[in-house]
Amino acid sequence: MKRFIYPALFFLLIASSSVYLEARILTVTIREPIHPITAEILIKSIEKAKLENAVLLIIKLDTPGGLDSSMRQMIEAIIGSPVPVVAYVSPSGARAASAGLFISVACDIFAMAPGTSTGSAHPVSIGTSGQGQDKTMEEKITHDAAAYIRTLAEKRGRNVQMAEDAVRKSLSYTEQEALKGKLIDLVAKTEQELVEALDGKEIKRFNGEVQILKLKNQPIVELPLTFRQKLLMTIANPNLAYILLMLGLLGLYFEFANPGAILPGVIGGISLLLALLSFQILPVNYVGLLLILLGTVFFVLEIKVTSYGALAVGGVISLFLGSIILIKSPIPELRPSLKFIIPIVLGISLIFVMLVYLVIKAHTRKSLTGKEGLVGEVGQALSSFSPAGKIFVHGSIWRAISDDTIEKGDKVQVVEVQDHLTLKVKKV
């Protein structure tokens, strides 16, 4: 029996291995700004394509650009990929702007769908900072970016001048302009049309190796994002990161103001940690973060210090300015929108102002219990006296003194509670 079992297991193993290693076309979708998470997604996709012995990896691209450091990581992975990589700008209306152009030019094949565009790759759009810089530094960065894309275009046999003009002059091109100028390799309406057009095409890899693409009858498989990648992509949204930060600060404030509430502290702590995780992905301006924290401190101090609203006004201004400069990127997709900032700042400010009002009101409210609660109460004299006698007030009989002459039955008002529970009163 064993002589039949072992050969069967052997052939079964070979069959399963052949299925696993079956050549196929893998696709990955990047429809976000270029940042560390999109870089991770592409790098992992290239590793997956290598592991599964894929014949082609297609990047379905739609991006406004992003961070220079992440862009270079992605390009390095593309250049070193043993599997040919295709940049496919799709669907219609998509773009590969700024860093997206660099990534596309670096790929073995650069294709676009009808109604798409590419270009606008001036270094300001791909830098890690949205802050101003002197002219000399700007020229250095521009020259470096131009040299980088020129090298990529030359290696891939693409129109060097068009690529360089996209950097130096911020020019953008439609798919037909890019095709006519030989900046891209082809225009394809669909993914299937793209694969059919590339079947049998001879390509030259970045290392000079010539390879013929054999794509006929190859299945096309979309690489799904992992749960971790989906989570990081979600919290990498600058609007969500900003909301988490504000929610975290508000929750922690409520917890410290009302110890033992628990729920605000739990929500605030989790939100704040998620916000900090987002800030590891996004290009955060820490001056903006400090301004937001300073604004929160101003609101807290308004409760403790009599500033007649000066600290509250300073808190609103600090909170707004910090929110505006929180993310240092010229790309709108990497910054919190004013549509979020203005209502959130106004809402947070209103909440803090209401809290300040309630605290001040509580501190100035007349005490209803203890010795302080007797001050201002009106009672009746049980006897005539000057200066000491007995009065009935607040449901009890008290010893009282007065600078006035008090007759039995007169109404008196408590003006002070002295030692030994003696009330000083006046005639009313």
* Active-site annotation holds for 140: yes
Name, in order, each residue with C-beta under 8 angstroms of 126's C-beta and a sequence gap of 6 or more: 65, 66, 67, 68, 71, 98, 99, 102, 145
Measure the CA–CA gap between 247 and 357, rounded to whole angstroms.
21
* Sign of the torsion formed by the C-alpha atoms of 21, 24, 25 and 29: negative
Catalytic residue among 45, 90, 98, 402: 98
- Give the C-alpha distances (Å, rounded to integers) separating 361 from 197, 303, 336, 364: 76, 11, 36, 5
| CA neighbor of 55 nearest in space, from 180, 236, 251, 198 | 198
- DSSP, collapsed to helix, strand or coil, labels residue 204 as strand
- DSSP, collapsed to helix, strand or coil, labels residue 249 as helix
Q: How many CA atoms lie within 13 A of 274 on its CB side?
A: 24
Measure the CA–CA gap between 74 and 90, rounded to whole angstroms.
19
Residue-by-residue DSSP string for 326-367: SB--SSGGGS--HHHHHHHHHHHHHHHHHHHHHHHHHHHSPP
262: phi > 0 → left, psi -120 to 50 → alpha, else beta; which? left
Measure the CA–CA gap between 377 and 396, rounded to whole angstroms.
12
Catalytic residue among 92, 140, 230, 390: 140
Measure the CA–CA gap between 232 and 204, rounded to whole angstroms.
35
Tokens encoding 96: 């590969």
Q: How many CA atoms lie within 13 A of 305 on its CB side?
A: 11
- Give the C-alpha distances (Å, rounded to integers) separating 222 from 25, 27, 152, 205, 319: 9, 5, 27, 24, 43
* Active-site annotation holds for 48: no
Q: How many other C-beta atoms are found inside a 10 Å radius of the C-beta of residue 265? A: 18
Judge contact between 68 and 100, C-beta under 8 A: no
Name, in order, each residue with C-beta under 8 angstroms of 354's C-beta and a sequence gap of 6 or more: none
Name, in order, each residue with C-beta under 8 angstroms of 333's C-beta and a sequence gap of 6 or more: 32, 33, 64, 238
Active site residues: 98, 140
